[in-house]
Amino acid sequence: MKDASPWIEKANPEYLALIDEQHLVTKLYSMVNVPTAVWINEQGKIVRPNEVAFVDDRFKSYSHMDSGPYLDGIRDWVAKGERSSFVLSEEQLKKRLTPVGPDRLMADVEFSLAEYLYHAGHGTEAIPHFKQAQRLAPDNWNYKRQAWLLSDADRDYGTNFTQEVQKLNGKPYYAPRQMPEPANKPN
Amino acid sequence: MGTLFRCVGLIFLCSMANETTSQVRTVVIYDNAATELRTPSPFTQSKDLWVTLAELKRSAGFVVKPQGVCRSELCFPLPKQRKADFLEQQGQDTWFNLSEFARLVKQPVAHDEKLATWCFGPRPEAQNGYLATLEAPNFTLPDRNGKLHSLSDFRGKKVLLITWASW
């Protein structure tokens, strides 16, 4: 709370900003990095699942994506609702939303244990559990970045953010978005 | 855009904890809430987590009933031929094997032996249940003033749920 509050205060957003100390949303929605967004309609149903969601292009060197098309999509959805071409059908959603397997579930619980131990004053004992979470969910950057930040990444994990991004060797750091073709873009 | 729908942003936070020294007592983390057990286990040689029925209810919200191990409307029957794997009488107390129960219901469990801490995750069908309905999983989190907000509070509005972090 004390770490997040100054950021929120400075940004002074018009929208509601909540603080997720336990990564609950990461686990519930099986997210793997930030910024990630989900679109939820008036009935509480998902209409677009997890996607990288930058609001500007300051991190384009990592995302290799323009933020513009995604922002256009949000505006189109707001204006047209369910008629927006950016709203996915149930069939499309079920293709994109796949069940979480046992490794990811185990990674989530190891990560939860590690965070509890860290906050209980057992930072050293937390590290093996953070490592286990990272091993079980190797695509989860949230679990890497959070663990590295809570200690000395080079000393305790033998790596760091820059090295791990370099290891991708051309593989995208963020999963590419699947947006409608230009012909379907909003007028 | 801001007038037509509400955005819910979430910041992943890492707050520094003070190093403390304390006597090691068994801790159970269930549904993201930690409970320190009060009754020392007599099962000192067991690799499993045995808890009294009172501690079972206090830490995990489950109650042992004739029809099974229950919480609200949800009941998991215990296999008749394996009841001894789950329940054992020791003196005045009936003890329940919570880690064996987790295996029965395919619930992931992480354990730190040195710090006697057990963490239980959701069953696969609970985690993946929303895929059938596409209903966005609900959650309740505080804003920076500590006021709690639930996703379900925003029914009737479009919600852009966006997460970021300060790392």
* Three-state secondary structure string covering chain B: CCCCCEEEEEEECCCCCCCCCCCCCCEEEECCEEEECCCCCCCCCCCCCEEEHHHHHHHHCCEEECCEEEECCEEECCCHHHHHHHEEEECCEEEEEHHHHHHHCCCCEEEECCCCEEEECCCHHHHHCHHHHCECCCCEEECCCCCEEEHHHHCCCCEEEEEEECC
d(CA B131, CA B137): 10
pLDDT band at A152 (very low <50, low <70, confident <90, very high): very high
Question: Residue B29, Cα to own-chain centre: how many angstroms?
Answer: 6
d(CA A109, CA B123): 11
Q: Where along chain B do its domains lie? A: 48-122
Interchain contact, A20 vs B13, CB within 8 Å: yes
Count of alpha carbons within 13 Å of A33, Cβ hemisphere only? 16
Contact indicator for B118, B27 with CB cutoff of 8 Å: yes
Interchain contact, A121 vs B17, CB within 8 Å: yes
Q: Where along chain A do its domains lie? A: 18-99, 102-167
Q: Does B18 touch chain A (CB under 8 A)?
A: yes
Contact indicator for B41, B55 with CB cutoff of 8 Å: no
Please calculate the CA angle A38-A11-A30 and round it to the nearest 5 degrees.
25
The partner residue sitting opposite B144, judged by closest CB among A5, A97, A150, is A5
Interchain contact, B161 vs A90, CB within 8 Å: no
Interchain contact, A74 vs B1, CB within 8 Å: yes
- Res B9: pLDDT: 55
| ipTM summary value | 0.93
Nearest CA-CA partner of A109 in B31, B29, B110: B110
Count of alpha carbons within 13 Å of A73, Cβ hemisphere only? 28
d(CA A34, CA A4): 15
DSSP character at residue A159 = -
Interchain contact, A9 vs B144, CB within 8 Å: yes
Lowest mean pLDDT among A105-109, A114-118, A176-180, B27-31: A176-180
Interchain contact, A120 vs B20, CB within 8 Å: yes
Give the list of residues 6+ apart from residue A168 with CB closer than 8 angstroms, or none.
none
d(CA B38, CA B165): 37
pTM to 2 decimals?
A: 0.89
Interface test with B, best of A16, A28, A51 (most B CBs within 10 A): A16
Six token digits for residue A49: 């699942």
pLDDT band at A181 (very low <50, low <70, confident <90, very high): low
pLDDT band at A124 (very low <50, low <70, confident <90, very high): very high
Interchain contact, B144 vs A29, CB within 8 Å: no
pLDDT over 90 (residue A15): yes
Contact indicator for B50, B98 with CB cutoff of 8 Å: yes
Lowest mean pLDDT among B4-8, B69-73, B95-99, B157-161: B4-8
The pLDDT tens digits for B15-64 are 333 333 345 799 999 999 999 999 999 998 999 999 999 999 999 999 99
Helix (H, G, I), strand (E, B) or coil at A32: coil
The partner residue sitting opposite A78, judged by closest CB among B5, B127, B143, is B5
Q: Does B54 touch chain A (CB under 8 A)?
A: no
Chain B residues close to A125, C-beta within 8 Å: 112, 114-115
